């Protein structure tokens, strides 16, 4: 699904990713953990195509394509979804309108018929119930005046409706209380499938109490310094990044 080889990326001439390699297969959930400033969010942003990140070396292949050559919307239509750490507010643009435009853009790309308003609303209502999102959400503008938890739920709702092939969730657990964390985790688990891969970027281990990853990677200094199974997350929690990173010789 995703193959990252020796990826090097700079921001304003400052190298952030310094030779990162990672392979993600369909059906797998990878957790990427690391201390602040290690490059976690940069990795998520680069994979989604945000501006301002300069690709200085290495390659990223997604389903055989050169991912970095694609515009952000082209990546999205190919099934790459980014759950934002800080979802953006768009005043005056209705939540449902954005989501419908988004789903239909992707369906057109896949050669599928667009959903009409009725079918679409049925789909949204179903997923809203699942995510415990109140009806008034339908009338509100995109993320405007949402609490931190509501914004994150909205990200997961969008993901459930868009059904991406590769979901990258950037600190989806930050700012969530325990109830919201459970709901968000349930949304993530609902999408676990043999055809789909997920990358969870997180600082803390607690999300992994609810979503069990197949692999855990520790990112430090712009490289992956250790990889392991889900037990690695517990080790990090117990010993801290310092010890784990030092042990890896990074």
Applying CB under 8 A, the residues found at the interface with another protein are 46, 48-51, 53-55, 68-77, 81-82, 84, 87-93, 97-99, 101-102, 105-106, 109, 141, 158, 162
- What is the closest distance, in whole angstroms, from the C-beta atom of residue 22 to another protein in the complex? 18
* Nearest residue (CB) to another protein, 78 versus 215: 78
* Nearest residue (CB) to another protein, 77 versus 230: 77
* Nearest residue (CB) to another protein, 53 versus 241: 53
Q: Which residues pair with 169 in a beta bridge?
A: 83, 200
Question: Alpha-carbon distance 32 to 240, whole Å?
Answer: 15
- What is the closest distance, in whole angstroms, from the C-beta atom of residue 44 to another protein in the complex? 11
On whether the CB atoms of residues 236 and 218 are closer than 8 A, the answer is yes
* Nearest residue (CB) to another protein, 72 versus 229: 72
On whether the CB atoms of residues 184 and 176 are closer than 8 A, the answer is yes
- Region of residue 37 (left: phi > 0; alpha: psi -120 to 50; beta: else): left
- What is the closest distance, in whole angstroms, from the C-beta atom of residue 37 to another protein in the complex? 21
- 64 C-beta neighbours (distance < 10 Å), count: 7
CA 14 to chain centre: 24
- What is the closest distance, in whole angstroms, from the C-beta atom of residue 167 to another protein in the complex? 12
* Nearest residue (CB) to another protein, 23 versus 97: 97
All residues at 6 or more sequence positions from 97 whose CB lies less than 8 Å from its CB, including other chains: none
- What is the closest distance, in whole angstroms, from the C-beta atom of residue 101 to another protein in the complex? 6
């Amino acid at each position: 699904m995703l193959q990252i080889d020796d990826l090097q990326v700079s921001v304003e001439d400052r190298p952030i990713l310094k030779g990162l390699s990672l392979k993600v297969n369909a059906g797998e959930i990878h957790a990427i953990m690391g201390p602040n400033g290690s490059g976690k969010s940069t990795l998520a942003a680069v994979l989604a195509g945000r501006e301002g990140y300069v690709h200085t070396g290495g390659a990223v292949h997604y389903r055989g394509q050169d991912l970095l050559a694609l515009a952000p919307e082209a990546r999205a239509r190919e099934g790459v979804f980014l759950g934002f750490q800080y979802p953006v507010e768009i005043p005056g643009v209705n939540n449902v309108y954005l989501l419908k435009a988004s789903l239909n853009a992707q369906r057109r790309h896949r050669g599928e018929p667009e959903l009409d308003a009725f079918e679409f609303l049925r789909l949204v209502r179903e997923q809203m119930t699942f995510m415990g999102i109140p009806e008034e959400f339908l009338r509100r503008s995109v993320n405007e005046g949402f609490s931190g938890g509501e914004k994150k739920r909205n990200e997961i709702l969008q993901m459930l409706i868009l059904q991406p092939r590769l979901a990258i969730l950037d600190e989806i657990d930050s700012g969530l209380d325990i109830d919201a964390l459970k709901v968000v985790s349930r949304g993530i688990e609902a999408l676990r499938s043999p055809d789909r891969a997920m990358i969870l970027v997180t600082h803390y281990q607690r999300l992994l109490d609810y979503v069990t990853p197949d692999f855990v990677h520790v990112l430090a200094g712009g490289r992956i310094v250790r990889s392991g199974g889900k037990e690695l997350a517990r080790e990090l929690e117990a010993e801290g990044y310092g010890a784990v990173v030092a042990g890896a010789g990074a």
